[in-house]
Amino acid sequence: MTQTQNAAPDEAAVVYPSPFKEFWQGFSHNKGAVVGLAFMTLILLAAILAPWIAPYSPIEQYRDHMLVPPVWSDGGTSQFLLGTDEAGRDILSRLIWGARQSLFIGLSSVLMALIPGVVGGLLSAFFPKLLGSSIMRLMDVLMALPSLLLAVAIVAILGPGLINSIIAISVVSLPAYVRLTRASAMTELNRDYVTAARVSGAGLLRLMFVTVLPNCLAPLIVHATMSFSSAIIDAAALGFLGLGVQPPTPEWGMMLASARDYIERAWWVVSLPGLTILLSVLAINLMGDGLRDALDPKLKRAA
Partner 1 sequence: MFSFILRRLGLLIPTFFGITLLTFSLIRLIPGDPIEVMVGERSLDPQMHAAALHRLGLDKPLYLQYIDYVVNLAHGHLGDSLITRVDVWTEFTTLFPATLELAICAMIFAVVLGLLAGIVAAIKRGSLFDHGVMGLSLTGFSMPIFWWGLILIMFFSVRLGWTPVAGRIDLAFDIPPRTGFMLIDTWLASSRDPSLSGAFVDALKHLILPTIVLGTIPLAVIARMTRSSMLEVLREDYVRTARAKGLSPSRVIFIHALRNALIPVLTVIGLQVGVLMGGAVLTETIFSWPGIGKWLIDAIQRRDYPVVQNGILLVATLVILVNFVVDILYGVANPRIRHAK
| Contact set with partner 1 (CB under 8 A) | 137-138, 140-150, 152-153, 156-159, 229, 233, 236-237, 240-243, 253, 256, 259-260, 263-264, 267, 270-271, 273-275, 277-278, 281-282, 284-286, 289, 301, 303
Query: Measured from the CB atom, is 1 or 144 closer to partner 1?
Result: 144
Shortest distance, position 215 Cβ to partner 1, whole Å: 25
> Is 56 or 98 the residue whose CB approaches partner 1 more closely?
98
String of b and e for 229-239 (b: at least 16 CB within 10 Å)? bbbbbbbbbbb
Least Cβ distance, residue 268 to partner 1 (angstroms) = 11
How many alpha carbons fall within 13 Å on the CB side of residue 210? 8
Specify which residues 84 forms β-bridges with: 90
Q: Which residues partner with 90 through β-bridges?
A: 84
Rank residues 21 and 260 by Cβ distance to partner 1 and give the closer one: 260
Rounded to a whole number of angstroms, the CA Rg of the chain reads: 24
Using an 8 Å Cβ cutoff, are 290 and 33 in contact? yes
Q: How far is the CB of 204 from partner 1 (least distance, A)?
A: 28
Shortest reach from residue 154's CB to partner 1, in Å: 8
Nearest distance, CB of residue 95 and partner 1, angstroms: 13
Nearer to partner 1, 118 or 286 (CB): 286
Q: Which is nearer to partner 1, 128 or 274 (CB)?
A: 274
Query: Residue 267: which H helix or E strand, with range?
Result: helix 267-295
Q: How far apart are CA 302 and CA 296, in angstroms?
A: 11
For partner 1, which is the closer residue by CB, 49 or 278?
A: 278
CB of 209 to partner 1, least distance (A): 29
Please, what is the minimum distance in Å from the beta carbon of residue 26 to partner 1?
A: 19
Angstrom distance (rounded) from CA 214 to CA 106 = 23
Q: Which residues contact 2 (CB under 8 A, 6 or more apart)?
A: none
Task: Tell me, letter by letter, the H, E, C secondary structure of 200-242.
Answer: CCCCHHHHHHHHHHHHHHHHHHHHHHHHHHHHHHHHHHHHHCC
146 vs 144: CA distance, rounded Å: 6
In the complex with partner 1, the residue whose CB is nearer, 124 or 229, is 229
Residue 152 Cβ vs partner 1, minimum distance, rounded to whole Å: 6
- By C-beta, is 48 or 278 nearer to partner 1? 278
DSSP string over 172-208 = HHHHHHHHHHHHHHHHHHTSHHHHHHHHTT--HHIII
